A and B are shown apart, each in its own frame.
Chain A
Amino acid sequence: MPSSQKFFPQIELCADPIFVIGSDRSGTTILVRSLSQHSVLWSSAETDYLFHLFGEGRASKAYRWAIKRPSGNWLKKENVSKPEFLEALGIGINCLFTSRSRGKRWMDHTPGYTMMVDILADMFPGAYFLHMLRDGRRVVHSMINIMNTFKPDARQRMIDEGYVPGYVDFGTACRRWSLFVEKALDFELSHPDRVKTIRNEEITEDPERSFREIFDFIKVPYEKEPDEFFRHNRISSSFAKPSADPSVREKLDPWQDWDAEQKRTFVELAGPTLVRSGFAQEEDLVLSDYEQLVLRVKEVASATLPENARFAVVNNGDLQLLKVGSRRGRSLPQNQEGEYSGGDPADTEEAQASVQLAKTQGTDYILFPSTAYWWFEHYPGFKQYLESRYSRLEIPSEDCIIFDLGNSSPHTRVDVPVANG
């Protein structure tokens, strides 16, 4: 005899659950864990499954497909609207959550649900949404360092089993933050009575004030435990333990540490969202003259130098000029180990010696960005020295000069597309 009473002897439904949404690495977990300290609120792990079952347009598509059938159509015959259909899908899920929250008001904090927030709003018509918003530059920095949160064996298992999040890639991280924030802000505009945006930076600065505002919005009385928990805990940070490697330490202002290419990528993919969300003005995101020069020089090098070429660049130690695709760059002048020597040549003789050393260490090309043209003035005869021995690549750019150390025939013409400065 089949039974329908096995799992729900006494069904309860929470009328006003709460979804904490927002981009990954924005602080959704710490917010919901803090809120869970309130006597009437409850949460558990991230769920995810609603996204995989109903997200990415699946629920809408199923409804649209089923209702357009010309004949024999249950939804049409029974006059079931899409919101009613979605609410029916949500009822069972709500009861499942409620069965576990034991009478408390349940909260979910799956970041991916941001992208299906409009579907959730219909599935759970009484639900509130708290949008955790954090400066996209910090979020991206946290995303690309996410693997630091795992112990080495767990990290390896994630790599082996294909569970590494796509957003460890810088561009993907920028796109994801922007996409999530834009979606949540749009949703807030259309549902101001159901969505409240909480800024990570503000709640960090004054937890009590922020929690009071949140409690007021979700209509529960103030209790002090959530903001105390928030003050004293840090959860799921990509930088929970100080790392010996300075490159993976949390940056208070990661923007200052990003290279020009990262900044350009962020501005292109997430800049408008950063401005819209009030974390920056457009002028804050303009790259400096030097950064723009770096980008142009790298474009020239990328278009001019062969794949896997070895080149040295007069870079004053700036590592970003060494990364040009598969080409292997080194600083000039360099020491015997091939590292940046830490200073400029004392005279022409030293400048020439630095070129010779680079050549004996296997360097194919030497690149002078315009910031290093002073070498040709400051070291008398240095330019003539180079031009008499090595061919200078003719490139339609005033941003850099490149010499081919392995070719004695002068002036090989190479046409290079160059971005406007």
Chain B
Amino acid sequence: MEAFQNDSRVPQTCPNPVFVIGSHRSGTTVLAVALARHPDFWTSDETLFMPALFGGGRVEGEIERWTSRPRGSWLRRQNVSREEFLSYLGMGLNALFTNRSEGKRWIDHTPHHVLMAEVLAAMFPGAFFLHLLRDGRRVVHSMIHFSDKLAEDQREEMKAGGFFPAWVTNFKVACQTWQERTAAGLVFCEKYPERALNVRLEELAQNPGQAFGDVLNFLQARPSDAPGKYFHRHRFNSSFSTSVIVGDMAAEEPPDPWESWTDEQKALFNQIAGRTMSCLESTASLQATA
């Protein structure tokens, strides 16, 4: 007889999904949506449950605890490594994503994931990561104007649900958020050069065709000009509009948010995010502060 009913529902999983990571307000959504114009890719909304379940060092801490407890554990007895355990943990979620993508290569674009990219890399051992980089001054400026586009009821609903980020109302937190996430993404890309690519939003905006060609090449996807064309024509989720704007994305952005900041804001930004900005080689106007 069969030992167990070998389940016909053994799930189909995507071997090489894509995670778009980065700071909030960096353009992660528009990048993912543009990529999904490629016939082989698929994306949807942001997922939030993985940080809640596995982020904040929780799963790593648990693995450490299980492997070090004096009475032994199932994982140790069965010789299950951290990498193997996490890859199994990711498999079911991969199956859920793949079920919805209907066999296409799925893209997740939850910004929070930048802080748990190491865990995700182990949970999804075939995944690629695109770390979206954007000038920190523009990101911070976008963050503190995030609620401008929201209707009052939307704002209240977000607050009531605990979804209203602190960086909307606190300049310092906005600077810290960009710095923390950008630094985390840069470190991750350096550690996993074959799997993670830094992508500059400004370069995508300047020459979408070329930049998306490079991204697709990195992702080992077949060439397509659909993502670049789409990106060129759309801007998503902007803090400065109430809806999707068709047009030249770069032209729609405020010319230089730095000029509108107070000296105190400039000093605070420099103190918190200046070093990370230097890493991005975008330091020119930082010197303008008193």
Which chain A residues have a beta carbon within 8 Å of chain B's beta carbons? 1-8, 11-17, 40, 44-49, 52-54, 58-59, 61-63, 65-66, 68-78, 80, 84-85, 87-93, 95-96, 98-100, 103-106, 126, 154, 157-158, 161, 163, 221
Question: Is the beta-carbon distance between B5 and A4 smaller than 8 angstroms?
Answer: no
Residues of B within 8 A of A (CB): 1, 3-7, 9-11, 13, 15-16, 29, 44-49, 52-54, 59, 62, 65-66, 69-75, 77-78, 80, 83-85, 87-93, 95-96, 100, 124-128, 154, 157-158, 161-163, 194-195
Asked if A103 and B5 sit within 8 Å, CB to CB, the answer is no
* Besides the known contacts A2-B125, A62-B53, 17 further A-B residue pairs in the complex with CB atoms under 8 A apart: A4-B15, A13-B6, A40-B1, A53-B62, A65-B48, A65-B52, A66-B48, A66-B49, A72-B29, A73-B45, A74-B47, A80-B100, A84-B96, A88-B93, A88-B96, A91-B92, A95-B10
Quote the shortest CB–CB distance from A184 to chain B (angstroms). 21
Complex Cα distance, B110 from A66, in Å, reads 12
Chain B residues contacting A5 (CB-CB under 8 Å) are: 15, 126
How many residue pairs link A and B with beta carbons under 8 A? The number is 184
Q: Are A62 and B84 in contact (CB under 8 A)?
A: no
Closest Cβ of chain B: how far from A130's Cβ, in Å? 16
Are B52 and A62 within 8 A (Cβ)? Answer: yes
Which of B13, B75, B88: most chain A CB closer than 10 A? B88
Name the A residues within 8 Å of B54 (CB-CB). 53
Q: B13 and A4: CB pair below 8 A?
A: yes
Q: Which residue of B lies closest to A76 (CB)?
A: B45
Give which listed residue, B87, B93, B100, contacts A89 with CB less than 8 A.
B93
**What's the Cα separation between A121 and B4 when bound, in Å?**
18
Q: How far is the CA of A47 from the CA of B67 in the complex (A)?
A: 11
Residues of A close to B90: CB separation below 8 A: 92
Say yes or no: A44 contacts B77, CB within 8 Å. Answer: yes
Contact yes or no, A6 B125, CB < 8 A? yes
Contact pick for A47, options B5, B29, B74, B125, CB 8 Å: B74
Residue A88 contacts which of B95, B126, B127 (CB distance < 8 angstroms)? B95
CB distance from A122 to the nearest CB of B (A): 12
Going nearest first, the 6 A-B pairs with the smallest beta carbon separation are: A4-B126, A91-B92, A92-B91, A105-B4, A15-B7, A62-B52
B92 touches A88 (CB 8 A): yes
5 A-B residue pairings within 8 Å (CB atoms): A4-B13, A49-B74, A69-B161, A74-B48, A92-B91
Contacts of A158 in B (CB 8 A): 70
Q: In chain A, what residue has the closest Cβ to B75?
A: A49
Residues of A within 8 A of B15 (CB): 4-5
Partner of B92, one of A44, A93, A105: A93
